[in-house]
Every structure is written in C-alpha cells, then in structure tokens.
Structure 1
Amino acid sequence: MRAASELGIEVHDRMPELGVDLVVYSHGTKSVPVLEGRYDHELRARDFFLTEDKHATKLLLRQAGFTTPRGVALTSGDLEHPARDGDTRESRRLPRLATEALATLGEPPVVVKPRAGMRGDAVRTNLVTAEAISTHINRWRHLFRDWIIEEQIDCQDLRLQLIDSELVAACVREPASVTGDGRSTLATLVEQHRAEITAANPDNRLVIDAEAEDLLREQGLRLDDVPEAGRTVRLTRTANLAKGGVAIDVTDHLHPGFHEWAPAVAKLFDTKILSVDALCAAPHKPPDTNVTILEVNAAPEWVHHTFSENRTHDIAARILRSWFDL
C-alpha cells in the first residue's frame, strides 16, 4: 500500500467494511483487487492448485528436465483403512508404507512433509526410521491428509523471485539460530529473537517444540543453559522466515545461467509472479548441474527479499509496475 501511494496508484482498503484483507489498487481505467497481499487478479486456479501440490509440481518439473528430489507420495487413500474388531489397520499400514519408501529412496535420512502446505508447517527433516516417519505423520494427520517422503539433500536453501518471467531477486535462507553472549540463558536469547521476528511480521512465530528440543539436545543444550559467547545455537532444521530464519541476499552473486534457467521454470506454469524454492550447492555455479528444485509458488510471499541481509528489494513496487505498465 505504501509502494502504491508512492507510485501515484489509488489504494482502496476494504478491510474496515468487509473484515477481509482485500485491497483494490486503481490507476487510470484499471483496477486490481488483491486478497491477503498475494492473491491477485491474474492468478489462475489451475496454476495455484498445481503448484500447491508439491508432488505434481515435481513430476512436471522432472518431465521438463529439471532436477527434483526423489520422493514417494502417500495419499489419504493409502493411509486410511477402517478398523475392524478393534484392530486399527491404518496404524499398521503406515509403518509398512514408510518402510517401503525408505527402501525405495535408499540411504536415510529423509524429509517428510505435507503434499500441500506452506511456511514449513509439519515439515520434518533428518528422519531415519519408519517408526519416526509414522510418528510424525500421525502427529499432523488431523491437519494434512496427503504426504511426501523424499530424499534429504543437504545444501543451501535458495529462494528465487520472478516477475514477468524475469529473475529479480535471490536469497539464501538459513534456519533460525541465536548467538550466545556468555551471560543470558538460551531461553532468554530465544525470547529476544522471537520478539525481533514478530516485530518484523506479526505472523512470524518461533516455537520451541519437540523437534526443536531434539535439535538442542543434539547440540548438548537445554533452555536453561547459558551458551558461551559467540556460540551459534540452531533452533530449527528448516529455514522458513516465518519460523525465525534469516535471508541473505545473493542476487548480485548468482551465476549468469540462472537468468535463463529460472524463466524456463516459470514458463511451465505460465504465471507472471512466481517464486522457486531450491537446494543449491553454490549460487555462483551453473544452475543446470547445481540446483535441485523443491517447489514452485504461484502466490508467493516475498517478505524474504524485504528483510534480507546484504541487500533488500522493493518487490511491491516491481509488482505494481507490472500490473499497471508503469
């Protein structure tokens, strides 16, 4: 809304009268309604639902010659079988399916995540047994019906933002962490970081759950411990900004090949605003031999580039200029 005002675009905030996060931007004879800051007038249902389905997206990308992680999809039909005579069949079926997935993918660890999800919700890395996979899925099945078990690739988390098929910003995302000062307990440092990320975006949330506690134990720490000065303590395994991660801009350091490679990805989905989440060994190396695509977002959040370190990007103005040909 601030960017629109600076560009001379009229802003009509419908929230007060409708109670819905709907804003209508107008310039000349054209008006653009935008829901929740990212669902715009040109977003087609086909593209949105296709990219929401991570498994279908990966199949399309792989058919087009792009590299994606090997994975196994589990549908609700695979998992849900009625119990009979008190025998919970589904409780036995899931471990068997998880065991088969591990055999298909080979050497663990693996990543388990919802087939359709966002902000890293219910994503779990570093799982090595069928029992651990089953436990995680059962914990979240009240929210997510379909799942993916896929090979884990340990590389940098790369986020690419495209507008009008042009690569306009790139950042590497790092998981949430805090740095010890030799005086404060880990719980205090976590609370300070939680306040920082919430101030940047009220929707951000840093939760110390069972997975985070496992990660702390691996580092030999508890919340009431005092990390030594300068020690970095990881709080999450995934690098989502909504969960306290940090974005480091690498736009100026990308290999030139990304500027052809990324638009070729966008062309598969035929949408003007798109982001690509990928794993990358090094952003300065060629993408065709260096990048594995995790997912594509047809209605992306681009806060990564608003608060990134090294350099920030005014993505809002770029999008508005695109809509109104400014």
Structure 2
Amino acid sequence: MIKNPPVIERIVKEMGGKIVKIVPERGYFYIDIKGKRLLVTRKFQIAGSLTADSALTRFKDLTDFILKENGIATPKTASFYRKTFNEKEAKRILKAFEFPVIIKDAAGSNSKGIFPMVKNSAAAIRTLKQEFKNFSCLIVQNMIQGKEYRVTVLDKKVIGALEMIPPRVWGNGRDNISKLIVAKQRDMKKKTPIDNALRAVLREQGFRLKDIPQKNQAVFIRKNSSLAEGGELRDVTALVNPEIKKICVRATKLVERTLSGIDVMCDDITKDPRKQSFNVIEINGKPDIYIHYNPNFGKTRDVVRDIINYILKTQ
C-alpha cells in the first residue's frame, strides 16, 4: 500500500487539487479539490458506517487532530511516535504545557496505558522513553478540571448520557481512609494502589491516608471515573444542554461514526458549553452500552433497543 500515495497525489494534481498531509505516521491526508476537503488514507479507504472499523476513533491522536481542525474544544495535546521520537524536540514541545499532565497510549482503551499526574517535563520524557517499549504512539495532554460525562450518540440523536463519578469512600467517623478503601474494594478485582497518585488526590482534598473522615463525608480516591475501582454512574440524559448535544452529534459525524461514546469534561452538563470550561476528551467508536442500564443514580436508558430499531429502520 505504500505505493498508493504517489499515484494518488499525481492524479489529484491532474484534477486541479492538492494533497495536505496531516498525520503522516498514520497515513492520513486531506485531498483539497473542487472546493471540498476529503479525508482519506494512503490505502485510499473512505469509510463511514455503523460497523466500519474507523481509525479516527481507534487512535486518540487522529481523533484529537480532527476535532481541533473543526473547532471542537479538546485539551492541549501533543502526539509522540516511537519511530520519529526526538528528545530535544519533545522537550521544546513540553515547555508549552502546564504540569501535571496525563500521558496516554494513543490506541489504548478500558483505562489501560494511562499515566496520570506526570509532574514535570523531565518525568514526561522518562515516561515517554520507557513506555515506547510497549506503545508505538503516546499522547501528552493537559489535565482538565471538571465533571466527567459519557454521551452516547446514535446518528443525529443523544440516546444516553451519564455523569461518571470517580471512586470515593464515605466516612463513618471511626475508620481512617486506608481502612475505608479496603472495605469498599473488598469484593472488587481491581484495587486502588496505595501510591503517590492516591496520596496526591487525597492531599488536594486536605486528607492523608491515616485521617478519619466525619460520618457521611465523601473522600475521592481517584480523579478519573474508574468503574472497576468503585466509580459510580448518574443518568443525566434529560439534562444535557442542547448545544452540547449538537457538539456531540457533530463530533460523531466528523470521525465517521454512526454510533459513538463521547467522553466530555465540563463544569455542568446542563449549561451552555460556551459559558463554561468544556472539552471533548476522546471518542469511543465501540462504546460500552451496558453502563446505561441500572446506573447508581437515575433511570435506565434502553440504548440497545434504540440501536436495534435504528438498524431495522435503516437497513
């Protein structure tokens, strides 16, 4: 397939257009022709269906590029590739970031390949060099503050939305935080490590592991929504601001999906995104749909029925 690009470029020029390379490492480029911009790959693949395996959602670096290119807010992001990594250039790029940052495997899913709370540029470089043994592309992102939401989109409609509440323990006035964590996760396969990341999260709230919270006082033990460690779900489908719905539907179309799960970080899902801190964190091309059933708070959204009815209607 590596022979395709020269042929494509020659024909496009003959037709009066031009090639604009965007992410060479992924083989994606634009064809600007006859007043339109077409997104294609060096395999000359054009996809946009419910079941298509689109790299635009499989790779976070591509997703971020496409969203930014089209004016959708995302966190400040830099992509680094194992084959082209240059430490001097990386140090220059990282100077523009506010620390701590989060580093992610660009092809990661299910909370794997995530390295949060990277304190400074030196630590980021160390993490990149070390993890390139395991991952071909890593992205560095500013850590965004706010509440995390998952918005599930089907074609032109939001069919479900959830607030993703990070794992937390509730004080009983007797046990310290360390004991509360053990009790909460006794029957869970995944345990929250007692490490510097946990201590940092507690410190931000004014706590230490040995502290005893007051009765019914909530103490978060993660900053992200790790369901495996006891994160909770609140249905907010009826509350999503119309402008946020439009952004999520548009983002789904931009990455050539019909069904998507969009991770949003904002202050309040009910408010206009233009009047608050709002970012699309990533787009999942194969979203978890089970999470819309029996949430911890709020009602079930029967998204499976919606999807099946959509397929029956459109096939």
Specify if TM > 0.5: yes
For residues 89 and 186 of structure 2, what CA distance do their matches in structure 1 show?
A: 41
Q: CA RMSD in A?
A: 2.8
For residues 190 and 237 of structure 1, what CA distance do their matches in structure 2 show?
A: 15
Query: For structure 1, which segment, 204-213 or 291-300, has the greater mean C-alpha deviation from structure 2 after superposition?
Result: 204-213
Contact 2:104 2:140 in 1 (8 A): yes
Match status 1:143 vs 2:128 = no
Match status 1:319 vs 2:310 = no
Which AA in structure 2 matches 1:56? Answer: L
Give the CA deviation at 1:308.
4.3
From 269, 279, 283, give the equivalent of 2:269.
283
From 302, 313, 320, give the equivalent of 2:289.
302
After superposition, residues 1-326 of structure 1 pair within 5 angstroms as 42-45=50-53, 47=54, 49-79=55-85, 94=87, 96=88, 99-105=91-97, 107-137=98-128, 140-195=131-186, 198=188, 205-210=190-195, 211-216=197-202, 219-222=206-209, 226-287=212-273, 290=276, 291-306=278-293, 307-325=295-313
Cα distance, 1:166–1:232 mapped onto 2, change above 3 Å: same
Give the CA deviation at 1:57.
0.6
Aligned length: 262
Which AA in structure 2 matches 1:101? Answer: I
Cα distance, 1:174–1:140 mapped onto 2, change above 3 Å: farther
Identity level (%)? 21
| Secondary structure of the structure 2 residue equivalent to 1:50 | helix
Which AA in structure 1 matches 2:306? Answer: R
Cα distance, 1:287–1:131 mapped onto 2, change above 3 Å: same
Which AA in structure 2 matches 1:322? Answer: Y
Q: Counterpart in 2 of 1:28? A: none
Give the CA deviation at 1:194.
2.2
For residues 128 and 166 of structure 2, what CA distance do their matches in structure 1 show?
A: 22
Which AA in structure 1 matches 2:96? Answer: T
Give the CA deviation at 1:281.
2.3
Which AA in structure 1 matches 2:285? Answer: A
* Structure 2, unaligned runs of 5 or more: 1-48
Give the CA deviation at 1:302.
2.6
Cα distance, 1:140–1:308 mapped onto 2, change above 3 Å: farther
| Secondary structure of the structure 1 residue equivalent to 2:175 | coil
TM-score, with length taken from structure 2: 0.72
